Structure 1
Amino acid sequence: MDVAEIRAAFEDVFDQAIVFHGFADHMRDYDVFIYATADPHTGIAPKHLRYRFKYCVRAVATSAVPPAVWKESLDERLVDYEQGVDLDGYVWGVKWQELYPGMRLLTDSPDAERWSQDLDLPLHEAVIGTNGHNVSLVFSDLAVDTVDVGFAPFVVTERGTGLQGPPF
């Protein structure tokens, strides 16, 4: 995707819900899974999307939850919605984050420029803001896919980790 297409893809999911994010199981690309909905009156069905940030050389995730709220959110019951919904604190158990203020590309990123020169490949820096985490990614390309029901970004196998090569 070119820069204009990446920006348009970011706009398409403004204020939607991030349900999971992390490196893909092959560890090269960074995935952000989004639950996208429209006003029910439109008749557009909700869908799960995977935003795959390809050739991701840097991923930094920090908490967007302020320290005072964190302090009130340490109760283990808050990781389960049913147990935590009536407690004070951040209810981690909702299992999603509001994609607001959203995703944007930085126009002048020293990290992206340095990596672009080192790899001889155009790289960009995306900043993702939510109510739970702020994520910064340096990557080369973006692919957007619809994710089918039952998809799992990681599955534990008999070998223990899904390793394809020799075990440790």
Structure 2
Amino acid sequence: MDPVKLKQALDDVFDRALLHHGFTSYMRDYQLVIHTTADPRSGIAPATMRYLFRCCVQADCKTTVPAETWRESLDDRLITYQTGVDLDGYVWGVEWQPLYPGATIITDSPTARNWAAAVGIDFHEVRIRTNAHDLTLIFSDLQIEELPSEEHGPDHLFPIR
């Protein structure tokens, strides 16, 4: 994948809403499901996009939520928006995270170079940070597609309008 196109694709989701991330059901590729919105006056319709990091040989995920906040956020009522919204702590139940500060391409990644030499195809390293997770992915290609608007159903909670 062309690094310039990769950078543009990652810049396009800066400060958007990450709805889900994880390996696909067949466990080779890693996906981010991202909701994009614009000022309603722009006429640009909201969309749900899937960023598919193909041939993902490494996916590291760690929390960015500080220990003090975790300590205040252990109550299971916080995993549902309706029961957690008025409690102190991190409300896990909002079911999205802002892609902020966003994604960074790790240029000259030794890990990506080692995988490229071992497998025989190009690999890239990307770091993606949100307000709750810090992801590092090693992958060969990125495919982007728009998901049907009903992908998350009419009851999907998305408090940003």
Q: TM-score, normalised by structure 2?
A: 0.92
Residue 12 (structure 1) aligned with residue 15 (structure 2): no
Residue 139 (structure 1) aligned with residue 139 (structure 2): yes
Q: TM-score, normalised by structure 1?
A: 0.88
Distance 1:151 1:88 in 2: 31
User: Retained in 1: the 8 A contact 2:122–2:140?
Assistant: yes
Aligned to 1:106: 106
Report sequence identity in percent: 49
Structure 1 residue 108: Cα displacement: 2.3
| Runs of at least 5 residues in structure 2 that lack an aligned partner in the other structure | 153-161
Q: Which runs of 4+ in 1 moved over 2 A?
A: 149-152
Aligned to 2:62: 62
Structure 1 residue 86: Cα displacement: 1.0
Q: What letter matches 2:109 in structure 1?
A: S
Which SS does the other structure have where 2:10 is aligned? helix
The number of residue pairs the alignment matches comes to 152
Structure 1 residue 123: Cα displacement: 0.3
Aligned to 1:123: 123
User: Retained in 1: the 8 A contact 2:47–2:149?
Assistant: no
Aligned to 1:74: 74
Structure 1 residue 113: Cα displacement: 1.0
Once the two structures are superposed, residues 107-142 of structure 1 have per-residue CA deviations (whole angstroms, 9 ceiling, x without a partner) of 121111110110111100010000011110000000
Which SS does the other structure have where 2:31 is aligned? strand
